[in-house]
Amino acid sequence: MKTLINSCLAISGLIGAIALTSYTESAFADPTHLRQVLQTRSCEGCDLVREKLSFANLRGANLRNANMFSADLKLSDLREANLIGAILDKADLRGADLTGADLTGAYMSETNFCGAIMPDGQKSSEGCPKPAK
């Protein structure tokens, strides 16, 4: 009987952990916004918090005032994208191409730009690990 109770508690804990993980991963983002931005490249004011957009073709996308807090944008094509007023705090833009993107008023206090191609065409070293001495 004790083994059965312990097994039930373990299964209950596992189910709770899975449910919590699923909730925290999508607690803020709106799944319809992700589909919209990938299909139309236009989603002004979208909620893309913690979304995985690595390798996405978002060239010329209208993401004005979009919330991309902690979004994974590694190696994404954001050339000529409208990112005016976008929240990019803690976003991962490593290797992303931002050539011609408008970042006016974008919030980026802890954005990782390591290897990103910036609007001026230069490759960023901001956020890259420092070489060992």
| β partners of residue 114 | none
- C-alpha to C-alpha distance for 84 and 9, rounded to whole angstroms: 50
Q: What is the mean pLDDT of residues 30-39?
A: 88
- C-alpha to C-alpha distance for 15 and 48, rounded to whole angstroms: 26
Q: Which residue, 114, 113, 128, is CA-closest to 83?
A: 113
Least-confidence region, from 17-26, 42-51, 53-62:
17-26
pLDDT value of position 13:
45
Whether residue 90 contacts residue 70, with contact meaning beta carbons closer than 8 Å, is answered with: yes
pLDDT value of position 5:
47
- C-alpha to C-alpha distance for 102 and 41, rounded to whole angstroms: 15
pLDDT value of position 99:
95
pLDDT digits (tens, 9 = 90+) for 78-98: 999 999 999 999 999 999 999
The yes-or-no verdict on residue 49 having pLDDT over 90 is: yes
Count how many residues are written for the chain.
Answer: 133
Query: 70 Cβ partners below 8 Å, 6+ apart?
Result: 49, 50, 89, 90, 91, 92
Query: 112 Cβ partners below 8 Å, 6+ apart?
Result: 90, 91, 92, 93, 94, 126, 127
Its pTM stands at 0.72
pLDDT value of position 28:
55
Amino acid at position 13, single letter = G
CB atoms within 10 A of CB 59: 16
